[in-house]
Every structure is written in C-alpha cells, then in structure tokens.
Amino acid sequence: MDLGLAGRVALVSGGSGYVGRAVAAALRDEGAVVVLAGRDEDRLERAVADLDAGTDRITAVTMDTRDEASVDAAVGYVVREHGRLDVLVNTAAPPAGTLDPARDHDAAQVLDAIDGKAMGYLRTTDAALPHMRAAGHGRIVQVSGQNAQFTASVTSSARNAVVSVASKTIADELAGTGVTVNVVDPGLITDTPSTAVQPARAGESTPQQVAAAVVFLASEQAAAISGVSLAVGHRAYGVQ
C-alpha cells in the first residue's frame, strides 16, 4: 500500500525520544522529509546521526513546547527551509515516571503535567494549523495514552484526557478543510510487550507498533479519518 508520504514534510516533537525516534524512522522509510524537534540539541544531533541513514531527509530544530515563541520559531523554520508543513506528530511530554504518585491530587502537579503535555500539543497544533489550512492539506497526530480512559492517576489521566478532548474538538472544527487531527493512545510502551489481558489495565506495545499507527494516520490513506482516538496494544476490558 502506498501511503502517499514520499516528499511530505513532517515535524516530530519529542523527536529524540523513545517514541519520537520510532515515528521518525517510520516516516523516513515512507519517503518523508522529517524534522525532529526537542529541547536538547545534543540529543537531537545524535538522533539525526542515528536515523538519517544516508537519506539526507532527517534534520532537527530545537523547540520547547512549553514556550510559545520557541514553538512558533521552530514551525517557522520548517516552513522556511522546506516551503511547507504537511504532517505534525506530537510525542513531546515529561515521562510518566517523573510524576510524583504522592502528589497525584496536587493541583500544582496536575496543572504542570497538563501544561507539559496537552498545552504543549496545543501550542504546536496552533502554530502548524495556519500553514496547513492555507495548503488545504495536513495531518496532525497526537500521541497520548490509554489512561485517558482510566482512573488510576489523576495527573496522568487528566493530561491525556485533555489531549483527547481538545484534539476531537479541533478535528470537528477542521472538517472539510483537508486537515485531519487524530490521537494514538498507547498503554505501556516497551521493547518486550506482554500479550496478557488484564482487567481495567492498559495493554503494552513497542515503539514501532505505535509508530505504525501514527504513520498510517499521517498518510493519504487516512484522509477520511479525523477526530479518532486509536488504542494501540489495547488488551484491557471493562473500560468505557
């Protein structure tokens, strides 16, 4: 199946991270031009060196998704360098392991987690949308999490629920414009996923499995899909 991504320009936030690298590699393999974005320039340079594989289609730009000016500058750089922005994939967020379980109900932590993920995704989406609207084409894919549907953690569930609701709302607003917005919801991401089914527990998947779902939603084959939250590694049950 031709996904129609050859020559498309994609920006991947969190591009030097565990999932971001897998997404970038999958987009590269489909012929896309990929710009990795993140806060750590050294990590970005290492990711480019590891991923480019002689294609000259992977570059990087520094971007802090908590900083609107930084986001605007990074998106502007992509458009100036490549003349377009076709695909935005958001993976940049503080790891769940950095959240303090003892402060799960703490308003300051919850707000900080929402800002670090959901608001960061919103900043990049808002920066990309004018260019996509003008082109009459665009794909935005947000990597969120299955715990948007679970109640185990106020902090984790809240930040992912905001991503899901905001993305669905924006997708509806964009209906008919040629721009789609979708969410991919992994559970636990690991190199050695379990296939066990656990009641009311998220499933497990590899970064490459997550990337496969992202790349499909970023493709021309997914033109009729928008406003969807797609669970990857979904082996839970008893959950709405």
CATH of the domain at 98: 3.40.50.720
* pLDDT tens-digit readout, 135-182: 999 999 999 998 887 777 888 889 999 999 999 999 999 999 999 999
pLDDT of residue 167: 98
pLDDT of residue 233: 83
Q: Is residue 102 assigned to a domain?
A: yes
Q: Which residues, in sequence order, are CB contacts of 29 under 8 Å at separation 6+? A: none
Q: Is residue 144 assigned to a domain?
A: yes
Which residue segment(s) compose the domain that 27 sits in?
9-232
- What is d(CA 109, CA 94) in angstroms, rounded to the nearest whole number? 12
Q: Is residue 108 assigned to a domain?
A: yes
pLDDT of residue 88: 99
For the record, the structure tokens of 182 come out as 């979708």
Total domains, the chain? 1
Q: Is residue 49 assigned to a domain?
A: yes
What sign has the CA pseudo-torsion 71, 75, 76, 77? positive
How large is the average pLDDT for residues 13-37? Answer: 98
